[in-house]
Amino acid sequence: ELEEAYSQFILSIGGKPSRRRSRPRNPARRNSRRHLPSAEPAENPTSAAGSSSSAPSAGEPLTKRYDPVEASRLQKLFRANQKKALQSILSGPPRYCEISPDAVEDHFVRVFSENPFDPTFKFLTYDDPVACHLITDHMSPEEVWDKLRALKNSAPGPDGIFYSNFKSRDPGAHVLSAFFNKVLDLSTVPSSWKEAKVVLIPKPGDPLDISNWRPVSLLNTGGKVFSSVLAARISSWANINSRLSPFQKGFRENDGCSEHNFILEQAITGAKRLHLDLSMAWLDLENAFGSVPHRFILEALGHAGVPSSTVAIISAIYTGSTSTIRTSAGWTGPIPMRAGVRQGCPLSAILFNLSLEQILKTGISAPGFRLYGQEVKCLAYADDLLLLGQSPVDLQDNINSICGVAALAGLRFKPSKCASLSFNYTGNKRSIDDASFLVAGTPIRNINDQEAYKYLGVRKLTAIRAHVLSRAEFLCRNSHIQKRDVADLDKTLISTGKRILNLPTRANVNLVHLSTNKGGAALPHFRALLDVHAISHAFRLLASDDQLTSDVAFAGLRGVVRKKILRDPTPSECAEFLNGNKAGDFARDSGDHSTLWSRARQAADRLFNFIKFSWTFNEELGCFNLNIYRSPNPVCVVPSTAGLVARLLRDDLESFYIKQLSSLVDQGKTVEVFSQHPASNHFLQAGDFTRFCDWNFIHRARLGCLQLNATMRFSKRNPKCQQILRTGISAPGFRLYGQEVKCLAYADDLLLLGQSPVDLQDNIDSICSVAALAGLRFKPSKCASLSFNYTGNRRSIDDASFLVAGTHIRNIQGQEAYKYLGVRVGLNYKQDNTEFFRGITRDVKLVAASPLAPWQKLTAIRAHVLARAEFLCRNSHIQKRDVADLDKTLISTGKRILNLPTRANVNLVHLSTNKGGAALPHFRALLDVHSISHAFRLLASDDPLTSDVAFAGLRGVVRKKILRDPTPSECAEFLNGNKAGDFARESGDLSTLWSRARQAADRLFKFIKFSWTFNEELGCFHLNIFRSPKPVCVVPSTAGLVARLLRDDLESYYIKQLSSPPSKNSTSPPSLSWSRLTSLRLVNHFLILSFLCLNLLT
């Protein structure tokens, strides 16, 4: 009756009937069976193999001839399945496995066969569980509906049902919840839930090797909804009863990858600073998810205390489950699954974690590595294990122990994918240990010199030269990324955004970075996002729920601040360090290595130009806060809301874009109006009720970039800059083949030449004076000089010291480097992420050149292409130059999509769609936002280890700056970018999270009013955001809001800048006063309808 009722329900909402076989396939009859034909249209064998693709190759042009039929097909596909449409654009048609179905089936019959499980395995014993009713109680319609609403459409399983079918046919999930409760009562499931379609995804390598294809299961949608609710229940129950170790971060709510890589970085840094021996081994379980025995899973659940009724339901799901594999020739027959968790099933993650817990708890007994008083033996992320030890002997003991326990459970490690790294100290000299470690009796690779190992997506480079081991980096989470790595990507995003918005090249780039709710293209500015993510990452580590992570983070922060101020810092001084305080002790250069905290400090210093926020330490609660002074309500982000930091900073950065855009005389007249409400920009999301001609008109009209006879603003000359160059250089220059060369200028990059140091200094003094009269100034810290002379035939470097605005500039000598027009000379190693961001930039261009509708292009770029880059910027140190090209690409793309001329103000591109923009973010500002957010989230972490390490690192950086132990308030002043008193000195410290947060704050102060403060009563940092009309004080519990608040204020700045009234001397033609239209929410429709009426009259 259960089976019949469910089948009728599925058929009533448009699903397919179950075609499950009544009995398993007989292997003896395999030669006589016929493979099931594919339900999908037959693919051309050539294209299926991937030899031809609709996506252009590296040598093909990005722009193709417009095909209306293909455009219509692709736009319809995008409306139904965005991910599949984008895959078609970027990778061409799907590739199916060309290996014979018999070989594929034989392989997966072996993979899914039952593994031996030793019954003598000693399972852990636990205390009696509590709160078992959380699992066994009936599922309420509200619980099922909340879970169903959070699920997004994906490829359907054998039933052909999407999540949207359930949402539209069963609103409120009343039918589903009633059916699920019947499943709980009967402890059985419909047979259709046991069916799975497996699609093979190609991996790098030979396509005829079955090991180079990754299986992905497509399960019936009803079963996945039930499993999602049950998995959430079991996860909550496991957390309440402490059934999972804190070092297991896989598939849990916290930011596990980021925290593990941070602990690894701190272990390496701590070993360097304290001259400690360290041994590490990365272990990889062979086919862990697909080989764990089902009996072991059920036994592990029973010993953990999971209610027997729930174990019975899980057993019913796995008993008799089958899979059919998709090949180019069709579908194989059903293959019984007798081992492994079902990939694609929401239950698989928690089941695997509870099973692996039995191995991790019993298999590691030898001592680990002591890190800031905490013993770290193992870092686990699902099946990726990292073992640490103080000596090679201890590490080998743990390896032997865990291999033996895993073998009893039917699992084994793959030595070819394992690696080790061990180094020791002899006196003050560090050397790589040649110790060879054995996994299951087989030696594993020993990393040395320039070799690398990839752990959790992070490439660890070991550079022995100069006694520096590069820290673990995670490209998308917490790696240290130079801003130059995303420069090309930023340029591509800006140009792509302007093209999609149909904006001219002169249009302001802010509109490209604004979200679609604000009227922009929502293409982020990665150079700004890098700083935002740096601050967000630092704050999240300090606010981590994991005790180990937060303690290590706080201890590391204190160590960085200690080295900065040369004394033990207080938590408030750590906050000052993160605020970019450069006064007193914080002014000195610590000479420390680049750390997460120094980068957060620098990010804050940069973000202060756009967003007003500050780190504070709450003495009473003992945690860091991030105060974001957004208008009108400042926000105090506390550790419990650490996940909101990046979002708040990005929102404030977007507000800055709006303010900046609205301040423009010609392009900012309307931004404050259309960015006020999402209704003004609804067409940017889906393109509903919008024609292409309307799209091409609206964005140019909003920015006042329509090319009209009455408006001639096409001159690219800047008379002020021309006047500076003409009147500021008077002394003789360098004679080159009879011609006098005084200056070479490329935009704002100037190169002055002179025959003698005296003449060159005269020209420097002259041009600095003229620039000051024009309201401009040179930055001595970014200037450099090179002077050489001849004595006879011998050339020598001249030690002449040149002054810019009274400050000595760097004199390049020997092998030193200076970057001019993108060319850098030097021997310093810098991680190069250029290829990564070039790939993202290229994807942006591909989407922009595709036949998608303009609003679909924006959605595809934001949701699918930029997600990786934004993730990277949120959790890693990326230099602003790395996202420069991406920012430019986003701005230009946003302008093109919005159909704006090149002269259109960019703020509209950066505004969210709710504000009338393209919602393409400005990454250079977002980098500072995320830097502040990251630093605050670390200081406000719930995990004492993370917050203590973060605060200690902050104090260390501040200490090196002011040459004394800083108070928490001084740390907050440091993060605020204070450059007075002790903070004015140069600390000599290396770049850290806190120094980057300080610099980010210094930059964001130009756009957003915020400050770091330390609450002496609560003992935590706050971030006060002075937004109008209600300032916001971000406390540790709302740390996750920092980025969002800062981004909102940044967007408000864009709107204010864009909507600023024209000056009295402006030659712009009269225009509509948007201050009179602030109450109109349909002004965008007014513009469109006016244009349509003009067409009709014509």
Which of 743-779 are b and which e, b meaning 16 or more Cβ less than 10 Å from the residue's Cβ?
eeeeeeebebbbeebebbbbbbbbbbebbeeeeeebe
Q: Is the pLDDT of residue 716 over 60?
A: no
Query: Any idea which of 484-498, 724-738, 934-948 has the lowest mean pLDDT?
Result: 724-738
- Mean pLDDT, rounded, of the chain: 78
Class of residue 1042 by CB neighbours under 10 A (exposed 0-12, middle 13-18, buried 19+): buried
pLDDT given for residue 655 in this prediction: 87
pLDDT in tens, 543-559: 888 888 888 888 888 88
Q: What's the Cα-to-Cα distance from 251 to each of 110, 241, 923, rounded to whole Å?
A: 27, 17, 29
What share of the chain has pLDDT > 90, as a percent? 5
Q: Is the pLDDT of residue 262 over 90?
A: no
Q: Is the pLDDT of residue 1068 over 60?
A: no
Query: Any idea which of 95-99, 787-791, 813-817, 905-909 has the lowest mean pLDDT?
Result: 813-817
Task: Note every long-range contact of 435-441, with CB atoms under 8 Å and residues 24 or more positions apart, other chains counting.
Answer: 435/279, 435/392, 437/281, 437/392, 437/395, 437/396, 437/399, 438/396, 438/399, 438/400, 439/281, 439/283, 439/399, 439/403, 439/413, 439/415, 440/403, 440/407, 440/412, 440/413, 440/415
Query: Any idea which of 216-220, 363-367, 461-465, 684-688 has the lowest mean pLDDT?
Result: 461-465
pLDDT given for residue 817 in this prediction: 56
Q: Hunting for tokens 């259309």 — which residue is that? A: 674
DSSP letter for each residue of 1049-1062 = HHHHHHHHHHTPPP
pLDDT in tens, 297-330: 898 899 889 999 999 999 999 888 888 988 888 8
Q: Which token pair is 884?
A: 């420069």
Residues 282 and 455: beta-carbon distance below 8 Å: yes
Ranges assigned E (strand) in 681-748:
734-736, 739-741, 743-746
* Mean pLDDT to the nearest integer, 397-424: 86
Q: How confident is the model at residue 826 (pLDDT cuts 50, 70, 90)?
A: very low
3-state secondary structure string across 248-313: ECCCCCCCHHHHHHHHHHHHHHHHHHHCCCEEEEEEEECCHHHHCEHHHHHHHHHHHCCCHHHHHH
**Which range is most confident: 129-143, 339-353, 946-960, 989-1003?**
129-143
Q: Is the pLDDT of residue 186 over 70?
A: yes
Beta bridge partners of 987: 589
Q: Does residue 1022 or residue 482 have the better pLDDT?
A: 1022
* Mean pLDDT to the nearest integer, 566-571: 90
Query: Any idea which of 312-326, 475-489, 527-541, 688-702 has the lowest mean pLDDT?
Result: 475-489
Q: Is the pLDDT of residue 35 over 50?
A: no
Class of residue 202 by CB neighbours under 10 A (exposed 0-12, middle 13-18, buried 19+): middle
pLDDT in tens, 996-1028: 888 888 888 888 888 889 988 888 999 898 887
Query: Any idea which of 734-743, 1036-1045, 1073-1082 has the lowest mean pLDDT?
Result: 1073-1082
* Mean pLDDT to the nearest integer, 358-386: 81
Query: Any idea which of 55-59, 311-315, 426-430, 867-871 has the lowest mean pLDDT?
Result: 55-59
Q: What's the Cα-to-Cα distance from 214 to each of 86, 96, 125, 198, 287, rounded to whole Å?
A: 20, 12, 36, 10, 11
* Mean pLDDT to the nearest integer, 76-93: 71
**Residue among 605, 453, 601, 508 nearest 901 (CA):** 508
Amino acid type, 688:
D
CB atoms < 10 A from the CB of 813, how many?
12
* Mean pLDDT to the nearest integer, 933-941: 86
pLDDT given for residue 291 in this prediction: 82
pLDDT given for residue 41 in this prediction: 37
Handedness of CA 103, 104, 107, 109 (dihedral sign): negative
Per-state percent for the chain, helix, strand, coil, to nearest 5? 45, 15, 40
**Residue among 478, 457, 460 nearest 470 (CA):** 460
Q: How confident is the model at residue 711 (pLDDT cuts 50, 70, 90)?
A: low
pLDDT given for residue 455 in this prediction: 47
Q: How confident is the model at residue 56 (pLDDT cuts 50, 70, 90)?
A: very low
pLDDT given for residue 617 in this prediction: 92
- Cβ neighbors of 868 (< 8 A, separation 6 or more) are 476, 840
Q: Is the pLDDT of residue 461 over 70?
A: no
pLDDT given for residue 457 in this prediction: 40
**Residue among 494, 498, 419, 503 nearest 462 (CA):** 419
Q: Is the pLDDT of residue 55 over 50?
A: no
Q: Which token pair is 514?
A: 């604004």
Q: 403: which DSSP letter?
A: H
Angle at 139 between CA 312 and CA 137, to 5 degrees: 60
Q: Is the pLDDT of residue 124 over 60?
A: yes
Query: Any idea which of 597-601, 697-701, 1001-1005 has the lowest mean pLDDT?
Result: 697-701
Query: Any idea which of 1-15, 244-258, 548-562, 803-817 has the lowest mean pLDDT?
Result: 244-258
Q: How confident is the model at residue 688 (pLDDT cuts 50, 70, 90)?
A: low
Q: Does residue 20 or residue 698 have the better pLDDT?
A: 698
Query: Any idea which of 265-279, 442-456, 884-898, 1061-1075 has the lowest mean pLDDT?
Result: 1061-1075
Helical packing angle, 692-703 and 1083-1097, nearest 10°: 120
Ranges assigned E (strand) in 483-548:
515-519
Q: Does residue 361 or residue 313 have the better pLDDT?
A: 313
* Mean pLDDT to the nearest integer, 15-23: 53
Q: Is the pLDDT of residue 114 over 70?
A: yes
Q: Which token pair is 1002?
A: 């210094």
* Torsion of Cα atoms, 861 then 521 then 904 then 692, to 10°: 80
Q: Is the pLDDT of residue 1090 over 60?
A: no
Longest CA span, the chain: 104
pLDDT given for residue 253 in this prediction: 67
pLDDT given for residue 691 in this prediction: 74
Relative to beta strand 987-988, strand 589-590 is parallel
Q: How confident is the model at residue 142 (pLDDT cuts 50, 70, 90)?
A: very high
**Residue among 762, 761, 753, 772 nearest 730 (CA):** 762
Q: Is the pLDDT of residue 138 over 90?
A: yes
Which of 427-458 are b and which e, b meaning 16 or more Cβ less than 10 Å from the residue's Cβ?
eeebebbebebebbeeebbbbeeeeebebbeb
Q: Which token pair is 297?
A: 């899973």
pLDDT given for residue 203 in this prediction: 80
pLDDT in tens, 887-898: 888 888 888 888
- Cβ neighbors of 116 (< 8 A, separation 6 or more) are 293, 410
pLDDT given for residue 643 in this prediction: 83
**Residue among 415, 533, 404 nearest 871 (CA):** 533
pLDDT given for residue 47 in this prediction: 36
Q: Is the pLDDT of residue 604 over 50?
A: yes
Q: Does residue 432 or residue 328 have the better pLDDT?
A: 328
Q: How confident is the model at residue 993 (pLDDT cuts 50, 70, 90)?
A: confident
The total number of residues written for the chain in this structure: 1098
CA 585 to chain centre: 33
Q: Which SS3 state, helix, strand or coil, does residue 917 take? A: strand
* Mean pLDDT to the nearest integer, 170-194: 90
**Which range is most confident: 180-189, 260-269, 911-920?**
180-189
Q: How far apart are CA 1057 and CA 1025, in angstroms?
A: 19
Q: How confident is the model at residue 815 (pLDDT cuts 50, 70, 90)?
A: low
Q: Kindly report the backbone phi and psi dihedral angles of residue 462, in degrees, each rounded to the nearest multiple of 5, phi listed first.
A: -105, 105
pLDDT given for residue 144 in this prediction: 92
Q: Hunting for tokens 């240290």 — which residue is that? A: 480
Helix (H) or strand (E) segment spanning residue 216? strand 213-219
**Which range is most confident: 126-140, 195-209, 459-473, 692-706?**
126-140
Q: How confident is the model at residue 230 (pLDDT cuts 50, 70, 90)?
A: very high
Q: What's the Cα-to-Cα distance from 166 to each of 15, 146, 147, 206, rounded to whole Å?
A: 11, 13, 12, 41
Q: Is the pLDDT of residue 819 over 70?
A: no
